[in-house]
Chains A and B, each alone.
Chain A
Amino acid sequence: MQEKKHTTAPLRPAKVVRATRQQPLSGAANKHKTAPKRLKLLITVVERSKAELYMDLLQAYEVNMQITATASGTATSDILHLMGIEESEKRVIFSLIREDRAAAALAMLEEKFKTIKKGKGIAMTVPLTGVIGVSIYRFLSNSR
């Protein structure tokens, strides 16, 4: 029996996008002349019914990928605890956002938390230290 020949090309190693603010990337990636913008993970915890609204609001900040998960809050309130409803239904939104848009998104969220009825929540950003794949980075950072 003849052995089947592999027709597919060998896999190319994926590129790791890595740069610091001070040192721009060298070589082919240097055509942009500036270092790629860093990404942050924006975590927003809101009432379940308001999650869609906040996701739509965040899309205006060049957020191309968002993941949500159902969650429950553990607010400390003796009265709520006595009534057995200490836990509240929440939804967590994980959004990948470019560093230069994060501050504006947080400011918008802060304002909306105050103004939207039953729209209170909490939001925080966590800096990312690495992303694998140039096209994925371009997608996540909305670099067209």
Chain B
Amino acid sequence: MKYEHEMILCIVNNGFSGEVMDAARACGASGGTVLHARGTASPEAETFFKITIQPEKELVMILVPSEIKDDVLHALYQKVGLQTPGQGIAFALPVDGVVGLPSKAREENSKA
């Protein structure tokens, strides 16, 4: 099923939400919402993948048109991916109904 919009969720270390938004905006995203969160990971997984999980996290929700979803995900992987200090993971969820988008963003979506 094809959806008009997708919601990108990006979980990054505390203080990296600005970088997430910069990367997303460069691909055409308009805005986002940042939630504070606490991450957990199994110690075995941490040793196996040689990463340390900083418990303080930020969860960034970005609503984007489906056309730019892949671009945004790629940008997030490059700029705030697991290999960067942001240690971010990002994924997209289908959104089947949206209200409250700014009219400018809606016009751009209808043009696309």
Contacts and interface: CB of A to CB of B under 8 A. Distances in A.
A75 B100 contact: no
B94 A109 contact: no
Contacts of B34: 71-74, 87
Interface in B23-53: 25, 30-36
Secondary structure type dominating chain A contacts = strand
A92 B5 CA distance: 18
B96 A127 contact: yes
Contact of B5 (A103, A113, A124): A124
Contact of B33 (A74, A103, A127): A74
Interface in B55-112: 60-61, 63, 93-101
Contacts of B11: none
B17 A103 contact: no
Contacts of A55: none
Nearest to A45: B33
Contact of A126 (B35, B36, B60, B96): B96
A41 B97 CA distance: 11
A75 B32 CA distance: 7
Interface residues of A, number: 29
A74 B36 CA distance: 14
Q: Which of A71, A75, A106, A123 has the most CB of B within 10 A?
A: A71
B69 to A, nearest CB: 14
A102 B98 CA distance: 11
Contacts of B101: 122
Contacts of A103: 97
A24 to B, nearest CB: 21
A98 interface: no
B94 A124 contact: no
Interface of B: 5, 7, 17, 21, 25, 30-36, 60-61, 63, 93-101
12 contacts: A69-B35, A70-B36, A72-B34, A74-B31, A75-B31, A87-B34, A92-B33, A106-B98, A107-B99, A110-B100, A124-B98, A126-B95
Given A74-B32, A125-B95, 6 more contacts: A40-B96, A74-B21, A76-B25, A92-B35, A120-B100, A121-B100
